[in-house]
Amino acid sequence: MAKSRETPAKCLRCAPLSPAEARAKHPNCWDDKLCTARRFYINNRDRINQKRSRKRIETKHQIPVPQVNYGVLQVWRELREDSPIHAIGIEVWDGHNKLAVVSPVHCAGWLPSQVHEYLRQALTVLDTEYGFKKFASQVLISPEQCPIRPCFLCQK
């Protein structure tokens, strides 16, 4: 980037004067081509720079966003680490559009290995259908909000 040149102090003092006064005060220095443009810029530079700045800010770049399908694992369980998993559900998304929902299932009485096997099978099916091998995120939801009816927890 080129370094900007500072405006000479003599030009700064001359800029607020009228052209006739400037010619009379600095007859040896006055140049019709250079001084007219320089004086205009000095007197209007705040407005010019503001306009240039607004133009820079208003420029918006369109960057293509890749379309990626992803899965969100929904787990209904209490927030404790050792709490059992109440239910599991899966949502498949494409950006902001929900593509599919795997209905939640109760996991009461399931061993951890059974939960892992169920999720492995679900990921295999979702990989062939939507092309992802892992869940993008996991959402923990309170068991009291379980959507499955009838639910042994919600009957209390």
- The pLDDT tens digits along the chain (156 residues) read 455 678 888 888 888 888 888 888 888 888 888 888 888 888 888 898 888 888 877 767 788 888 888 999 999 998 887 888 999 999 999 988 999 999 999 998 899 999 999 999 999 999 999 998 999 999 999 888 888 888 776 665
pLDDT for position 102: 93
3-state secondary structure the chain: CCCCCCCCHHHHHHCCCCHHHHHHHCCCCCCHHHHHHHHHHHHHHHHHHHHHHHHHHHCCCCCCCCCCEEEEEEEECCCCCCCCCCEEEEEEEECCEEEEEEEEEECCCCCHHHHHHHHHHHHHHHHHHHCCCCEEEEEEECHHHCCCCCCCCCCC
pLDDT at residue 7 in the model: 80
What per-residue confidence (pLDDT) applies to 147? 85
pLDDT score at 117: 96
pLDDT score for 4: 66
pLDDT value for 143: 87
| pLDDT of 3 | 59
